Amino acid sequence: MCLNHIKKFVILLLFLLPCDIFALDGLNLAGVGLYSDLRAKYYYGALYTEVDSVKPADIISSEGRTRMEIRVVADDISKRRFYKLMNEMIAISNSGKTIEYHAHDIRQFTNLLDGKLEYGDHIIIDNGTGNTLVTINGVNALEVEDKFFINVLLAGWIGRLPPTADFKVHLLSGQNSPHYKNFINTTYLNSRIAEINAWQTPIVIAENERQQALEAERQQLAIEEEAKRQLLLAQQKKRKQAVAASEKAEQERAYKKQLAQLKARKEKEREQRLAAIRKANEARKLEAKKKQLAESRYFRKLIIQANKSVIYPKKAYDRGDEGFVKVRVSIDKNGMIKDLETLQSSNIDLLDKAALISAKRAEPFPGVPESLDLEDDLYDFVIPYRFVAK
């Protein structure tokens, strides 16, 4: 094949490639990963940044725009499962100080759903507006007034303990990501847009609270206007009946005084109603924040307890066997194990068995705080075990 033919072939190939394959609105594609465990595949995750680097430290420390995309490949993900996946990912990869600081925003994100996610659903987290905006199938679901909140979620993907080792590798593989084609071809049904619009998402709840306050103020203004009208009619009638100039002047003075008193009283009542609404909303937010912090603190206690009982089989250590194992543990309210299973295998039987034995040796775990919800009288969590032969 001559040189001119080769050039024409290359130009034609570049023309046929999709324009968004490695870039999006000026952002670079860091890669696409698939999050799955021994139970099922959950979602594809894609990462776009302004940074021309695939090093986690460079991406997280960047002050530029970052975009995270999730496309669901499970048949469905329940509200509780989404909460567990996201909360554990955030808690295990961020410092206690970070979790305390972002507790309210973390609670809103982990409780984002008002129903279940279905195959093809598309979640985007983007800080390009100066805030961190979360959309589901194009529907605004949450807006955090902090562009760097996205780094709390990003640490769960590319931090020290990602969902899986392969997920992080592929998420930072750039043009070599093996999941890009399947990611692009995973789309949601148009009918899901209307369903998501009907959800009571954090952004909808915030708007409802604002509308309630505006409606209360509108009602109060209507009451004041009607009171003014009635008072004016009464004064007009009295003025018509008045025959003396002194009596008319006195009536006008009384009218002004009554109107001022009525306005002051109505304004005070309006402020009291608005204050009651704000107080109730703050109380709900505070209670939810306390629960979020309690679960994060309790989870960290469980991990600390688990780490005290880790065993590294001598035979595996001597052979230099290394691996990463995830174990899902279900305990009752007293911390006793009721179910135990391998969630992610190291592909080395001896290390997988050691992880299960280590989890069992950590029993009993700290009792479940009364403030936390149990599912079927059980609390389940995931313990990551990393076996490294030094």
Kindly report the three-state secondary structure assignment for every residue of 106-155: HHHHHCCCCCCEECCCEEEEECCCCCEEEEECCEEEEEECCHHHHHHHHH
Distance from C-alpha of 47 to C-alpha of 27, rounded to nearest angstrom: 9
Residues 50-56: contacts with CB under 8 Å, at least 24 apart: 50/26, 52/28, 54/30, 54/172, 54/173, 54/174, 55/172, 56/158, 56/159, 56/172
pLDDT value at residue 2: 44
What's the pLDDT score for residue 23? 59
Q: What is the structure's pLDDT at 22?
A: 52
Three-state SS sequence of 81-101: HHHHHHHHHHHHHCCHHHHHH
Q: Does domain 17-199 have CATH number 3.50.70.10?
A: yes
For the domain 308-387, what is the CATH code?
3.30.1150.10
**Total count of residues recorded for the chain:** 390
Query: What is the chain's pLDDT, residue by residue, as a tens digit (390 residues)?
Result: 444 443 344 333 333 344 444 557 789 999 999 999 888 899 999 999 999 888 999 999 999 999 999 999 999 999 999 999 999 999 999 999 999 999 999 999 999 999 999 999 999 999 999 999 999 999 999 999 999 999 999 999 999 899 898 999 999 998 889 999 999 999 999 999 999 999 999 988 887 777 787 787 788 887 888 888 888 888 888 888 877 777 788 888 988 898 888 888 888 988 888 888 888 888 888 887 888 888 899 999 999 999 999 999 999 999 999 999 999 999 999 999 999 999 999 999 999 999 999 999 999 999 999 989 899 999 999 999 999 987
Task: Give the pLDDT of residue 358.
Answer: 95
pTM assigned to the model: 0.69
Picking from 148, 139, 103, the residue whose alpha carbon sits closest to that of residue 121 is: 139
Quick one: pLDDT at residue 11? 35
